Amino acid sequence: MNTSTPSHHKIRTTHLQRDAYLYVRQSSMRQVLENTESTKRQYQLREQALALGWKSEQIRVIDCDQGCSGASDKGRDGFQQLVAEVSLGNAGLVMGLEVSRLARNNADWHRLLQLCAFADTLILDQDGLYDPAAFNDRLLLGLKGAMSEAELHVLKSRLQQGILNKARRGELKMPLPAGLAYDDLDRVVLAPDTQVRETLQKFFAAFRRLRSASAVVKEFRRENIQAPHYSRTGPKSGCIIWGDLTHSHRRRTFCRSIPEPRSARRRCRTRPRPRPSRRR
């Protein structure tokens, strides 16, 4: 049991008896590789927990969500683990450099605040220490969450407007499937790699013969024919990589077309709707 004397008026002995959880996250792998200073600052919050009275062995670092967006908790196993630890009453302190590291979605953020208030868990960021059970602190944390979500909306809006402006000018370049490339005049032409072209000819010839994309995938795997695809991330980004033909690769080969500027503007998104419950 930790018998340290609390160094802050909001910290009680019951907080110090539980663990402190430090949540570290960057939104993309590119940020993980390039924004190293931000990552260092996030890990440095550990020193503040030590200064507030927690022991080194009590500080748990959750950093398995690197490269995951905070717009949702989907796919963020680290955030879900953090919520579970708070729910079980194991966390005396939750740390994040700023609200946007923990969540950029108001629903996820307020759910965490409610659990912290119920479990008597404090929250620490770069600006200070908060008690979600206290009205003023919870109000401030709620405003920070709203600003974080609004910031994400503004960033997305700026990027989207830039894409639309390029489309209106006819300068929007979309990622191409393997086998196609842009020439010096930004026209779509066949890839100069002979092996890539020959493999794609085999792909479409097999499809005309089998009349099924899934059957083509099975045939390629059975005959151990490697298929080309572009690497979109990492040090080999933009380079051709050879590997087994997968259903996602054949879907991109068939379905990815080059939209004209007008059709690019007409793109729409689908919204999931709740299914009506069945009466028993």
Domain ranges of the chain: 13-153, 180-255
What DSSP designation does 273 have?
-
Report yes or no: 145 and 109 within 8 Å, Cβ to Cβ.
yes
User: How far is it, in rounded angstroms, from Cα 1 to Cα 20?
Assistant: 14
The torsion defined by the Cα of 99, 17, 80 and 39, in degrees rounded to 10, comes to 50
In the structure, what pLDDT confidence band is assigned to residue 60 with cuts at 50, 70 and 90?
very high
What local confidence, expressed as pLDDT, does residue 255 receive? 54
User: How far is it, in rounded angstroms, from Cα 43 to Cα 97?
Assistant: 9
In the structure, what pLDDT confidence band is assigned to residue 192 with cuts at 50, 70 and 90?
confident
User: How far is it, in rounded angstroms, from Cα 109 to Cα 107?
Assistant: 6
User: How far is it, in rounded angstroms, from Cα 245 to Cα 252?
Assistant: 11
What local confidence, expressed as pLDDT, does residue 95 receive? 95
**13-153 is classed CATH 1.10.10.10:** no
Residue % of the chain over a pLDDT of 70: 83
What local confidence, expressed as pLDDT, does residue 217 receive? 86
What local confidence, expressed as pLDDT, does residue 29 receive? 77
Q: Look at the block and give the residue holding tokens 């570290």.
A: 24
User: How far is it, in rounded angstroms, from Cα 196 to Cα 206?
Assistant: 15
Give the model confidence (pLDDT) of 196-242 as tens digits. 888 888 888 888 898 888 888 888 888 888 888 777 666 666 678 88
Structure tokens at 48: 């503040």
Q: Give the catalytic positions in this structure.
A: 27
From residue 243, alpha-carbon distances to 96, 178, 195, 246, 249 in Å are: 40, 12, 13, 9, 10
